[in-house]
């Protein structure tokens, strides 16, 4: 997050964090609770507490998918969120 997080918006940071937690593998589902916990441990880097709207914006941009309720997975092309 130190390397890629500067200058990114909340949805982009959410996608980057999901990428870190999933090892960059598309289709690997991570629980929202786990993502939120990791986010709130690093609020200084993330720019504040977790906001649930980041998940919706990341999904609307096509970076993440929700294979089942409360779980998020990277979609192909998610790296565009870091640009």
Query: Which runs of E-coded beta strand occur in 8-81?
Result: 30-31, 64-65, 71-74
Q: What is the pTM of this model?
A: 0.90
Residue-wise pLDDT for 35-58, tens only, equals 999 999 988 888 889 999 999 999
- Domain definitions of the chain by residue range: 10-82
pLDDT score for 48: 87
pLDDT score for 2: 63
**In Å, how far from its chain's centre is CA 32?**
9
pLDDT score for 31: 96
Report how far residue 12's alpha carbon sits from residue 66's, in angstroms, rounded to the nearest whole number: 16
Q: Round the average pLDDT of the chain to a whole number and report it.
A: 90
Q: CATH for 10-82?
A: 1.10.10
**Nearest CA among 51, 68, 41, 40 for reference residue 12:** 51
């Amino acid at each position: 997050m130190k390397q890629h997080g500067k200058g990114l918006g909340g949805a982009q940071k959410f996608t980057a964090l999901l990428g870190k937690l999933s090892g960059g593998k598309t289709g690997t589902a991570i629980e929202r609770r786990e993502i939120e916990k990791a986010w709130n441990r690093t609020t200084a880097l993330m720019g504040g507490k977790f906001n649930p709207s980041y998940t919706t914006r990341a999904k609307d941009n096509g970076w993440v998918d929700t294979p089942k309720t409360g779980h998020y997975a990277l979609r192909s092309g998610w790296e565009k969120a870091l640009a």
